Amino acid sequence: MQSYLGTAVAALVAAAVALFLVEVVHRITRRLGRRSLLMTELTDHAHRPFQVAATVLAVQFAARFSTGYAVGEGWRRLLLHLLVLGVIATTAWLVASLLVVVEDTALARFRVDVPNNRHARRVRTQVVMLRRLTIAVIVILAVGVMLMTFPSVRGIGAGVLTSAGVVGVVAALAAQSLLGNVFAGLQLAFSDAVRLDDVVVVEGEWGRIEELTLSYVVVQIWDDRRLILPTSYFTSKPFQNWTRTEAAVLGTAEFDVDWAVPVQTMREELRRLVESTELWDGRVCVLQVTDATGGTVRVRALVSAADAGSLWDLRCLVREHLVAWIRDNRPTAMPRLRTELGGAGSNLPWQWVQPRRPVRRLTDTEVPDDARVFGGGDDGAARSEAFVGPEEPATPR
């Protein structure tokens, strides 16, 4: 009983000493962290895993040296084995926390809350992807080391290695889709095709990249919905990236108006509008007639903004203002349907004008020359010969 009590006391003393030393180190790093970002991150993120790992390690040493009276006993082997597993797990936790501290320190140097944050978003995407990958590797290695502490696992290790090739092929075939997404995620992280906070158009939806993992990508749509896609989608299908080179983008607002619209006056009104709003970034302001069919003309206003959100609001503002301007100031420019009234004898400039020389009226059996493509004239006969051939009749059967 006294031996068991001594073991318990030794374990408690070792845990207390470990906690005391960790607390001393924590206070020192906190004081130094007032001027060092790395030390501040260490005190915030690595304190708890360091505390647990040091405590478990101290208890493991105390139990090993204070249970010499029970060498060969089953409970001692079980206790020491459990403590070794605890040391491995807490050490992996501590290493992962240290890596997170280093990554957070690196990310702090690149701000994403500035207008020109393309390089910062690229670094952030790569660091986040590496963080997920390193944590996954650490967990796999920790589990592997913990399994190797079991004698039965070490005994079958040789047999597993002999069939590793076959198992690898089977696993690769079974996890083909998963591995494809993992490699696609790494490709996205380092190819700069898409980054966190990029504004994209995917599957007809406009949104931004909210989360980028090794297996899937979360797109936050403008109405706060979430579109979740596999990472292989972005390496196998086309999509629009509005902020790949810079956040500033162009947008259009189109109007179908009457031919009476004063284009230059409308252009000046557009310029006056964009110069009066902070949504415009001062780069592009163009108004052009892009089409003139169907009884109306199509006027396109091309404007620019510093980011996609500002561009959307600016385009809506241009539409609202120019629609109201046409309605209130240029009502004749509103789209309309015209009907021509009057006889052939009218002398209005836009109505029918009598021909200067009389036109010979054809009989019912005569066909005018301009009613035939393959005949009726020299050029028609040439076309008929080219398409039918000189030895075949040109008239339809």
Provide the token pair at 24.
Answer: 């001393």
DSSP summary character for residue 207: E
pLDDT, position 177: 62
pLDDT, position 145: 81
pLDDT, position 231: 85
pLDDT, position 364: 58
The distance from CA 73 to its chain's CA centroid, rounded to whole angstroms, is 59
Q: Strand pairing of 205-212 and 199-202? A: antiparallel
pLDDT, position 374: 61
Task: List average pLDDT for each run of 10 residues in the chain, which is 397 residues long.
Answer: 71 84 81 68 77 86 76 77 86 85 74 64 75 82 81 56 50 58 74 82 88 85 88 86 78 91 92 92 91 89 88 92 92 79 58 56 59 63 61 50
How many CA within 13 A on the CB side of residue 222? Answer: 12
CB 303 within 8 A of CB 249: no
pLDDT, position 54: 86
Q: Is 358 helix (H, G, I), strand (E, B) or coil?
A: coil
Residue 322, Cβ density class (10 Å: 0-12 exposed, 13-18 middle, ≥19 buried): buried
> What domains does the chain contain, in order, with CATH numbers?
1-111+120-149 (no CATH), 155-244 (2.30.30.60), 249-336+371-385 (3.30.70.100)
Residues 115, 117: Cα–Cα separation, whole Å: 6
pLDDT, position 77: 80
pLDDT, position 389: 52
The distance from CA 52 to its chain's CA centroid, rounded to whole angstroms, is 38
